[in-house]
Structure 1
Amino acid sequence: MKQTRRQEQRFTGHPVSPGIGIGPLHEAAEPELVVATKKLDPAEIAPELARLDDAVARSRHQLQKLKNRLAALPEDSQAEIAPLMDVYLHMLGPSRLLRGIKARVQEALLCAEAAVQAETEAQAEAIMAQTGQERAGRLRRADEVRELGRRLLRNLTRQPFRSFAGLAQGSILAASDLRPSDAALIQPARFAGIVTEEGGVEGHTAVMLRALGLPAVLGAEGVLDAVAPGTMTIIDGDTGEIVLSPSKASLEAARRKLSAQTRARRALAKLQRLPAMTKDGTAVELQANLELPFELAMIAESGAHGIGLLRSEFMFMNRDTAPDEDTQTRIYQDIVEAMDGDPVTIRVLDWGSDKEVEALSRYLPETPEANPALGLRGIRLLLRHPALLETQLAAILRAGAHGPVRILLPMVSVAAEVQATREILQRVWRRLKRRKTIALPESLPPLGIMVETPAAALASPVLAQHADFFSIGTNDLTMYTLAADRSLPADVKLYDPLEPAVLRLIHLTASFAAGAGIPVSLCGELAARPHVAPLLLGLGIRQLSMHGNAVPRVKRAIRATSLSLCERLAGDALAAPSAEAVRAILASAEP
């Protein structure tokens, strides 16, 4: 960091962990990684592979030590980070990553360092280039691959890792970037906050920083070049603002906001024990989405009553073969037991040719699909491979002996898909009942469908005759309704779940579900927006599932409104000409 004159300067980054941090800023620089590359002679292949094996062994040893050190971190942080270490350890086994690295050494005659660098970047770029899966999921997977490459390179070259031991107590920790394993070493009690020049709201690092409970702002470009070591700094993890050398007025304002946030957090914590109910007595069920097991700790703290969407794809990632029935049963059972009687809705594998999953590659069509988003994905693909579906259904049924579960089918368009799946489910149920040693629930779990296409919404009167419940996925419903992907540039302004066309499909689905007497929930990104909650209630939704962190704020919004106001909002929004008009309606209703 270079010395600059001491006057107030302001920067903006991505807010990833809420709160105000005030303290002297100190950088924890990562030693530069210098990697020499060279071509091998054929006679050097064997010793080079031995070097690689040694680096793999050292990396596994380090990660195991890191897991053991997690006992010193807060309990919630342990739950966030330990499963990530398991992912890294698995990738250091007989994985696609290591096979690709070794192939580059043997076939391209690259030295181990060059092979690691080339293969990890190639796999990370391939993951990010996929379509169909949420960007956050792709980013997490790419980060995992890059993190392993970085660790292998450090061990191949014997160059040191980053250390936080010498930084002053109560300081703002600054870095150009933080990796997930770096975040795992942070002792929360030592720092007032964290700021980096790179990174964003998605990925494992952001998730772990939220678990640590420290105010954090990532991606604040230029901060390190503008500040001297020890400069007093304010970071705002809610807005992403960073103030270097703050004035007296700025410091006083930050301290007032810190006090106000402390009071607000205490108020939100009290909400955990209160029902999600409008002022005129309409009850709403708030549940949490679960993408990776380490998010269970967040769900436990959020006050959510169950898991409304468990994305089962995580079990199939970074594996050579699909997990067998016993493996899947253990994973589901652990989650069901952790929820202690609250329901768990498990979505069967939502996957297609747009998602590169090595364990499932043999099930894909030999000829690449021209348009994977409209091709064989979700239940369409599973019904073509019933053995894969039967294994997953059997595991869910067995886990259902340990707590209430529901089964959710993705990408349903027609009733025949639900009928075919129910026949398979009943066949699996009968087979398991013949195995007298297998514990099962007293009855078949409810079988529901994702409503994420206009076809499913429009066919909801028919689908309600075959499904036990609906779950509206607003992310895909918005994409398919508006023929616009979430990855479109923001200035295009086509992908917007508040478009009246999308809202009308939500209202239609909720109305027909109510008429058929089946539950309907909403589990897309829209569910996590507190200011939209009254509108969703007015559209007929009484169950919402969202990221655990959003539950208290959505509950607060529900408790501050009335059903009569919600229904007026919905009527105005359904008649509105555009998403912008809907936003104006919502803004006018805010207190």
Structure 2
Amino acid sequence: MIILQGTGISAGVVIARASLARERPLPVIEAHPSQLSAEAERTRLDQAIALTLKQLKKLRGKLDSLPDEARIEIDAMLTVYERMLTQSRLVRAAHQRLAEEGLTAEAAVQLESDILAARAGPQPGMPEEEIEGARRREGEFREVARRLLRNLTGVSFRAFSDTPSGSVLVAEQIRPADAAVIDPNRIAAVISEGGGATDHTAIMLRALTVPAVLAVPQLAEHVEEGSLVIVDGSSGRIVINPDSATLDEARSAMAEEARERKGIGRLRRLPSRLVSGEDIELLANIELANELPLLHRNGAAGIGLLRTEFLFDESEPLPDEDGQYEIYARLVADMDEMVTTIRVLDWGGEKGLARLRQLGIHDTQEEENPALGVRGLRLLLRHPEILETQLCAILRASLVGKIRVLLPMVSAVNEIQATRQIYERCARRLRRRGVKLPNELPPLGIMIETPAAALTAGALVRHAEFLALGTNDLTMYTLAVDRSSAMGSDLYTALHPGLLKLLRFSLDEALRAHRPICVCGEMAADSRSVALLIGMGLRSFSMSAASLPAVKRMIRSLSLEACDDLYRRAMLLEDPIELTQLVRDFAH
């Protein structure tokens, strides 16, 4: 018996035989001059691009046979690939190399894709919350290049059609295009040496609900064709040739899992309601359309926070109004009349620096501590042309479904007033262009992320239609602790008496002004902290889609009286360690 540990991607315990899928390797590509003319190499590249687009179109044709959630995920991925193959920076730069350096098409694609992937990938000092998106963007460049190179060299793609039904697919690397042709009704589980928790492949496998473990070291050395394998997609544990005791444990885990799946299925259809009858709104925070399947599967009531920074990847041209509108409209349409809260660009601090440099915007680069200077709405108001383009696109998308607009890092009334003037100016401009906007524009809300905003919430709320409590940054600024370096330590904790008082002050002002208020951030994803906040008086929470079932399960087990009691006891404590322990012990 051999036990290996990888990264659990998609939950599920499976016992099945291994089926090895091997891929023919690409030849070594060297940057030497071509024996053909530059025009001939350009023709070869253009033909490879056309063939790749044709293959992607064929992949789209397979979407009808996939689950709805997987179809949304794969369609979004293919759209990204198609955009990268049509007059993108990759294609333009490869053509330029052919003309100026006389390289082969293979060498031009390899060199440019390596450069762009390195720029798009994780950078030194990048905040933890940006690393996930950077890895995805890096993977997109490498996958598009791989498809082009296979078509240029004639090395065929692998197919999984001969994989025995009910087996565990074992591969050195599972790429997004591979995942697109995996039939979840035939393949019991997927394991590979490569990959990670945040790339497109992982997202797609989760959408397909195929149990999967990626990044398994030395997998190829230990597993053989037909080996009996236990795959635990939650823990990332792989057992090859298990003994009888381990098999019995796995069978018990599978039976428990089956009961749990039935429970989650029922939970999704049940209301998010306290046992005492009060309804609690549970929304989801998302960054990419790829996350919509999980949002729907876990029963979110809408999108409480759509981060839009992903649209402004520095490796691609700055998106214009039409480009942004298409993405917003597609996403809003998929929400089927549920609310979509779109946060405008939250650049600054450590976010979006490469794009800011490209645009020649140096506001944040000259500051010793960018987190305390020009970021979020402050930055956009200094460069209103970026904000105007985004607001116009959002306003157009509001014709498709229910939208709210959220402003980040607000600290003063004049910032909201200036933004509203731009907002209304954008609406007038669109109406002059013949866009029939509703008389009442989508609500304009603000994030409470600084102590100044919390303490002046009474003034701010008179100029905003709704509030969102951004507990991550609010904790950082209140406690003077950098959340990227101190996350997980005792210093960085939202369960601090000072922070709770700021939250309560903001809540009271919102209720006094009859304005909706929602909690966004990690605090909303902690079910026991949610119980505390319900006791405080909050009724709306937005969190990662993956956190929704646990929070909903806790809510359905609570009474308002229990939440009130927890909050009253919490406010009597002065020590954040004691406060944290009180909340952690709740409902145990």
Q: TM-score, normalised by structure 2?
A: 0.89
Q: Which amino acid aligns with 1:307?
A: I
Residue 556 of structure 1 aligns with which residue?
Answer: 553
Residues 1:396 and 2:370 are matched in the alignment = no
Alpha-carbon contact 1:268-1:553 (below 8 Å) kept: no
Deviations 1:542-575 (A, max 9, x none): 2112233332332111111233333444456563
SS at match of 2:269: coil
Partner of 2:20: 27
C-alpha distance in structure 2 between counterparts of 1:570 and 1:10, whole Å: 45
Task: Tell me the distance in 2 between the aligned counterparts of 1:577 and 1:66.
Answer: 57
Instruction: Name 1:3's counterpart in structure 2.
Output: none
Structure 2 match to 1:97: 90
From 126, 131, 141, the equivalent of 1:131 is 126
Residues 151 and 119 from structure 1, CA distance in 2 versus in 1: closer, same or farther, beyond 3 angstroms? same
1:15 deviates by 1.7
Cα shift at 1:383: 1.6
Residue of structure 2 aligned with 1:276, choices 267, 272, 277: 272
1:52 aligns with 2:45: yes
> What residue number does 2:437 align with?
440
Within 5 Å, which residues of 2 pair with 1:530-541? 530-541=527-538
2:442 corresponds to which letter in structure 1? Answer: P
How big is the shift at 1:494?
5.8
Cα separation, 2, equivalents of 1:230 and 1:479:
52
Would the aligned equivalents of 2:364 and 2:374 in 1 still touch at CA under 8 Å? no
Aligned-pair CA distance for 1:363:
6.3
- Aligned residue number for residue 417 of structure 1: 415
CA displacement, residues 439-485 of structure 1 (integer Å, 9 cap, x when unaligned): 22241322111223344334333322322211123343345455655
User: Residues 167-190 of structure 1: CA distance to partner in whole angstroms, max 9, x if unpaired?
Assistant: 221111122222111111111111
Amino acid aligned to 2:72: A
Aligned residues of 1:486 and 1:495 also touching (Cα < 8 A):
yes
User: Are the counterparts in 2 of residues 354 and 372 from structure 1 also a CA contact under 8 Å?
Assistant: no
Structure 2 distance, partners of 1:506, 1:119, is 49
> Secondary structure of the equivalent of 1:465?
helix
Aligned position for 1:224: 220
* Cα displacement (A) at 1:141: 1.4
Task: Render the CA deviation track for 1:39-80: whole Å, top value 9, x for unaligned.
Answer: 327985444444333332222222222122222222221111
Q: For residue 200 of structure 1, what is the aligned residue in structure 2?
A: 196
- Which residue matches 2:464? 467
Give the RMSD, CA atoms, in angstroms: 3.1
Cα distance in 1 between the residues matched to 2:470 and 2:306: 13
Shift of 1:356: 6.1
Give the letter aligned to residue 252 of structure 1.
D
1:420 deviates by 0.6
**Matched residue SS, 1:472:** strand
Evaluate the alpha carbon distance shift between residue 400 and residue 169 of structure 1 in structure 2; reply closer, same or farther with a 3 A threshold: same
Which residue of 296, 309, 319 maps to 2:305? 309
1:117–1:334 distance in 2 versus 1, CA, 3 Å:
closer
Q: Distance in 1 between matches of 2:581 and 2:398?
A: 45
In the aligned structure 2, how far is the partner of 1:481 from the partner of 1:98? 47
> In the superposition, relative to structure 1, how do residues 145 and 36 fare at CA in structure 2: closer, same or farther (>3 Å)?
closer
- Post-superposition Cα deviations, 1:229-282, rounded to whole Å, max 9, x if no partner, equal 222111122222222222222222222222222222222222223221222233
TM-score (norm 1): 0.88
SS at match of 1:560: coil
Taking a change above 3 Å as real, the CA distance of residues 432 and 92 of structure 1, as seen in their structure-2 partners, is closer
Q: Indicate the SS of the match to 1:86.
A: helix
What CA distance in whole angstroms lies between the structure 1 residues aligned with 2:92 and 2:493? 42
**Relative to structure 2, which stretch is displaced further, 512-521 or 406-415?**
512-521
Select the residue among 319, 337, 353 that pairs with 1:322: 319
What secondary structure sits across from 1:15 in the alignment? strand
Any conservation in 2 of the 1:488–1:495 contact (CA below 8 Å)?
A: no
> Gaps spanning 5+ residues in structure 2: where?
none
What is the alpha-carbon distance in structure 2 between the residues aligned to residue 489 and residue 183 of structure 1?
36
Equivalent positions of 1:452-531 (< 5 A) are 452-481=449-478, 488=485, 497=494, 502-503=499-500, 505-531=502-528
Q: 1:261 pairs with 253, 257, 264, which one?
A: 257
Query: C-alpha separation between the residues in 1 aligned to 2:525 and 2:265?
Result: 18
* Paired position in structure 1 for 2:426: 428
